[in-house]
Chain A
Amino acid sequence: MSENKELRIPVEYFDNGWKKGEATISKTAISFAGLTIPFKEIQDLEKLNFEGKEAIRIKKDGNYYLHFGNRQDQIFRYLAFNLKSDRFAVYFLSPATRGGVVVSDSKWDKGYLSITDEALWFLSTSRQIRISIENLGSVGKDVRTVGKKQRVVLVITHVENGEVITSFVLCPETTMDMLQEYIKNIIDRHKPNEDLSEIEEQILTMVYTGVDSVSVESILGITTEELNKLYDRLVNLGLARVVKIRKEIELTPRGVALVSDIMKKAAR
């Protein structure tokens, strides 16, 4: 895939089911099933599980799903590096913390921060980390020790599999200012328009932390009905989704009588 060479490689592509074919990958485009997609027209790229296969999703107007067998990672890396995007040479540390705990075996990597229409990427020869724009949480500067020196880094928080991750970016100051502003604008565009009350913020924090609904009620001193109303608002704001509706019951007199029998039986 270097210089002017083209790579021809077996591929499975999804078209009302997985079909076998051949892909051609050049310096500027990928072709398969009679279709050519120039890299500069790729709007997004993602690795995901699709219709029973580990696939690469290429977005260009619509979505195309491809599977390259044991060369999947290699092709993904090549496509990621050739995406038409704003790209900045940086050092990055991702993840720095996960779920509030420092990831001790994470290392600084030299590569690029790349921004496409739908995602922010950390790209190096060994890693291609994609952060969907809707998963971005916050961006800010802080001082960190990098190579035994104190340096200002960009701290980006994002969500991955339901956990808050922080990643650090180190680059020249002018680039950092621009990146911070750019990412902040992206985050602001995705924020809900309405402000949250203190109690709503507390509920979000508790749900993230893993506190169950009964404990949320107890910690906040509110009733189930009040909590349900607050949950509804968070759902309507697009900040949460309903995963379970629990039933609460009370015993009928027959049920109560049965419990007495159960206790007697247990005492025998």
Chain B
Amino acid sequence: MPKVLIVDDTAFMRKLLRNILFSGGFDIAGEAENGKQAVEMYKQLKPDIVTMDIVMPEMNGIEALKAIKKMDPNAKVVMCTAVGQEQMVKAAIKLGAKGYIVKPFQAPKVIEELKKVSGMS
């Protein structure tokens, strides 16, 4: 089962994603609450896929994506955005993000997207 690193600054969103992904057959490698922590955890945990919030304190999702891609060009990162962050999404796609999901999301759609990105479907 693919291991997912969940990156989001709100504890509620992390719990929500953990619940969705776990029930969708993913293993949860870990959770980070900002980009800086995400980069460190990526190094240690080597997850198969990352869900990355865009707006976060310390280091935002774009910067974290950049750092992860530098470390591992094959990293599979799915950006997790709120409506109205199109410009950041575009930057993320250019930097190699494999997909993005828009909040509010529905569990089956999130699972479908992550399965697609991780090559499960």
Cβ B112 vs Cβ A101 within 8 A: yes
B83 interface residue, CB < 8 Å from A? yes
Decide: A202 near B103, CB < 8 A? Known: A145-B90, A210-B20: no
- Residue numbers in A under 8 Å from B15 (CB-CB): 219
CB distance from B101 to the nearest CB of A (A): 5
Decide: A102 near B102, CB < 8 A? Known: A211-B107, A219-B15: yes
Among listed A136-144, A178-186, A237-245, interface-contacting one: A136-144
Cβ A209 vs Cβ B113 within 8 A: no
Contact with A along B1-40 (1 / 0, CB 8 A): 0000000000010011001100000000000000000000
Cβ A100 vs Cβ B84 within 8 A: no
Q: Which of A98, A101, A138 has the most CB of B within 10 A?
A: A101
A132 interface residue, CB < 8 Å from B? no
Contact with B along A165-190 (1 / 0, CB 8 A): 01000000000000000000000000
B57 interface residue, CB < 8 Å from A? no
CA distance A180 to B15 in the complex (A): 34
Q: Which of A166, A206, A210, A211 has the most CB of B within 10 A?
A: A210
Cβ A215 vs Cβ B19 within 8 A: yes
Q: Which of B86, B87, B90 has the most CB of A within 10 A?
A: B86
Decide: A140 near B84, CB < 8 A? Known: A100-B110, A211-B16: yes
Cβ A101 vs Cβ B83 within 8 A: no
- Residue numbers in B under 8 Å from A209 (CB-CB): 16, 20, 104-107
- Residue numbers in B under 8 Å from A210 (CB-CB): 20, 106-108
Query: Dominant SS at the B interface?
Result: helix
Interface residues on B, range: 20 to 34
CA distance A166 to B86 in the complex (A): 13
B94 interface residue, CB < 8 Å from A? no
A63 interface residue, CB < 8 Å from B? no
CA distance A37 to B113 in the complex (A): 48
Decide: A211 near B87, CB < 8 A? Known: A98-B109, A202-B12: no
A64 interface residue, CB < 8 Å from B? no
- Residue numbers in B under 8 Å from A145 (CB-CB): 90
Q: Which of A97, A209, A211 has the most CB of B within 10 A?
A: A209
* Contact with A102, one of B16, B100, B106 (Cβ below 8 angstroms): B100
Decide: A100 near B20, CB < 8 A? Known: A144-B86, A202-B12, A209-B106: no
Cβ B104 vs Cβ A164 within 8 A: yes
Interface residues of B (CB under 8 A from A): 12, 15-16, 19-20, 83-84, 86-87, 90, 100-110, 112-113
Q: A101-B102, A209-B104, A219-B19 are in contact. List 11 more A-B contacts (CB 8 A).
A: A98-B109, A99-B109, A100-B101, A100-B105, A138-B83, A140-B84, A144-B86, A164-B106, A166-B83, A209-B16, A209-B20
List 8 A-B pairs, minimum CB-CB distance, nearest first: A100-B105, A210-B107, A99-B109, A99-B106, A101-B109, A100-B102, A219-B15, A100-B101
